[in-house]
Homo-oligomer: A and B are copies of this chain.
Amino acid sequence: MPTHKRKLFNNIDLGGGHRMTPQRQIVYEVLMSSRDHPTATEVFIRVQERMPSISLATVYNCLDTLAVAGIVKQVNVDREPSRYCGNLAPHAHFHCETCATVMDVDLKGGEEPSKLLKLPRGAKIQKVEVEVRGQCPECARKEKQKDNL
Enumerate chain B residues within 8 angstroms of A131, measured Cβ to Cβ.
128-131
**Copy count, this protein chain:** 2
Known: A76-B76, A79-B79, A107-B117. A123 touches B97 (CB 8 A): no
Which A residues, 92 to 138, have Cβ-Cβ distances below 8 Å to chain B?
92, 94, 97, 103, 105-108, 113-137
Q: Do B127 and A118 touch across chains, with their CB atoms under 8 A apart?
A: no
**Docked CA distance A115–B130 (Å):** 12
**Docked CA distance A114–B125 (Å):** 21
A135 vs chain B, min Cβ distance (A): 4
Residue of B nearest to A74 (CB): B78
**A140 is an interface residue with CB less than 8 A from chain B:** yes
Q: Which residue in B118, B123, B134, B136 is a CB contact (below 8 Å) of A135?
A: B123
**Docked CA distance A77–B119 (Å):** 17
**A141 is an interface residue with CB less than 8 A from chain B:** yes
Enumerate chain B residues within 8 angstroms of A118, measured Cβ to Cβ.
105-108
A19 vs chain B, min Cβ distance (A): 26
Residue of B nearest to A96 (CB): B123
Q: List 12 A-B contacts (CB under 8 A).
A: A106-B118, A107-B116, A107-B117, A108-B117, A113-B130, A114-B132, A117-B130, A123-B134, A127-B134, A129-B132, A130-B131, A131-B131
* B-binding residues in A (CB < 8 A): 74, 76, 78-79, 82, 92, 94, 97, 103, 105-108, 113-137, 140-141
